[in-house]
């Protein structure tokens, strides 16, 4: 089993880049892939903000990272991506206390939750996974530009292959399937990354989307079938530390700027679905997202 797991979990971030003086935000950093990503960035000397909806869980993890890495600059701030007020409050606080932002890792995510809505009435998957991160990125973009060279990593999924952007049913009100809702939101992550890359050309800010692999984590919490699958095959799927490698590769590896907008898996550029390469859909999703969030369509 360890050999098979090793085979299935290829892709290791080999960058030796150190991060003293650099500032990083990781969303959903209190567990799973986000926690391991934050730990490695702290190990390399960055000041790391754990942006978590549960501050108590975040504080426990911050202590653990401080102890294991010896880096005391690991800070927890409240961020609930299912509430635009919380996102705005996080951004306001961050912009007031930090002069720079060098790396933003949009990692948090929900999968297969029963039909529910965010505080602002968005369907939960599209609301948290796409719109929440879309708003957060917009609010932090000037800071990222001022701190260039800087990077944005959007954690998407192989599951985007099953995704479609149904503009007439973006909030799942006409029909809803929890599995597909997740896939749609992960497709939105890739479309956002590509459109963002086009708009940021020449700014010194680059962006990448990532499939972390199939990873042992709490993501399957809403589906007993998925929990059972993950348990049954637990010897073969990636550990969270292995799952963090592609996010780390995109955040750290030197010379990656030329690949801005690309999708990565196992630390390599990988192909995406035809939908995910459609510039018209990407532009329309951008405009619709701005409209829903009350952002100017620039």
Ligand X SMILES: NC(=O)C1=CN([C@@H]2O[C@H](COP(=O)(O)OP(=O)(O)OC[C@H]3O[C@@H](n4cnc5c(N)ncnc54)[C@H](OP(=O)(O)O)[C@@H]3O)[C@@H](O)[C@H]2O)C=CC1
**Residue 248 touches ligand X, criterion: CB under 6 A:** no
**Of 155 and 170, which CB lies nearer to ligand RET in the complex structure?**
155
Report strand pairing: 263-265 vs 268-269.
antiparallel
Q: Is 182 a catalytic residue?
A: yes
Given 49, 115, 176, 182, the catalytic residue: 182
Which residues neighbour 262 within 8 Å (Cβ) at sequence distance 6 or greater?
A: 208, 209, 269
Would you say 5 or 78 has its CB closer to ligand RET? 5
Write the binding mask 153 to 192 for ligand RET: x where contact by CB under 6 A, - elsewhere.
Answer: ----xxx---------------------------------
Q: Binds 233, which of ligand RET, ligand X, none (CB < 5 to 8 A, cut-off by type)?
A: ligand RET
Contact (CB, 8 A) for 135 and 293: yes
In terms of CB distance, is 105 or 256 closer to ligand X?
A: 105
Verify cis geometry, omega within 30 degrees of 0, for the bond prior to 12.
no
Question: Within 206-245, which residues bind ligand X (CB under 6 A)?
Answer: 211-212, 214-215, 217-219
Contact window for ligand RET (CB under 6 A) among 66-74, 130-138, 229-237, 265-273: 229-237
User: Interaction with ligand X in 168-207: which residues (CB under 6 A)?
Assistant: none
CA distance 267 to 37: 14
Of the residues 12, 54, 72, 291, which one makes contact with ligand X according to CB under 6 A: 54
Query: What distances in angstroms separate CA 128 from CA 101, 117, 252, 265, 293, one per listed residue?
Result: 22, 10, 25, 22, 12
Tell whether residue 128 is a contact of ligand X (CB under 6 A): yes
Considering the rule CB under 6 A, would residue 154 count as an interface residue with ligand X? no
Coil, helix or strand at residue 215: strand
Rounded CA separation 215/245 (Å): 11
Of 17-25, 109-117, 196-204, 279-287: span binding ligand X (CB under 6 A): 109-117
Gap between the terminal Cα atoms of the chain = 51
Residue 238 is given by DSSP the state B
Active site residues per annotation: 182
């Amino acid at each position: 089993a360890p050999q098979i797991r090793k085979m299935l979990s290829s892709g290791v971030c080999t960058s030796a880049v150190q991060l003293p003086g650099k500032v990083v935000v990781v969303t959903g950093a209190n567990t799973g892939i986000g926690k391991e990503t934050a730990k490695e960035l702290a190990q390399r000397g960055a000041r790391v903000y754990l942006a978590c909806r549960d501050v108590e869980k975040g504080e426990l993890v911050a202590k653990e990272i401080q102890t294991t890495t010896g880096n005391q600059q690991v800070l927890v701030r409240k961020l609930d991506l299912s509430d635009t007020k919380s996102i705005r409050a996080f951004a306001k606080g961050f912009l007031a206390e930090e002069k720079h932002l060098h790396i933003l890792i949009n990692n948090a995510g929900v999968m297969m939750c029963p039909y529910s809505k965010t505080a602002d009435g968005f369907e939960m998957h599209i609301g948290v996974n796409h719109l929440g991160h879309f708003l957060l990125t917009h609010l932090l973009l000037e800071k990222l530009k001022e701190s260039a060279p800087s990077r944005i990593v959007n954690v998407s999924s192989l599951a985007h292959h099953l995704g479609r952007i149904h503009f007439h049913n973006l909030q799942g009100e006409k029909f809803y399937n929890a599995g597909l809702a997740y896939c749609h939101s992960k497709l939105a992550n890739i479309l956002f990354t590509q459109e963002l890359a086009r708009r940021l050309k020449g700014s010194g800010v680059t962006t990448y989307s990532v499939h972390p692999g199939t990873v042992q984590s709490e993501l399957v919490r809403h589906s007993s079938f998925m929990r059972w699958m993950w348990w049954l095959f637990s010897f073969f799927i990636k550990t969270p530390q292995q799952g963090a490698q592609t996010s780390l590769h995109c955040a750290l590896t030197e010379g990656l700027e030329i690949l801005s907008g690309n999708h990565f898996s196992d630390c390599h550029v990988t192909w995406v679905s035809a939908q995910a390469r459609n510039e018209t859909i990407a532009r329309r999703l951008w405009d619709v997202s701005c409209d829903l969030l009350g952002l100017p369509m620039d």
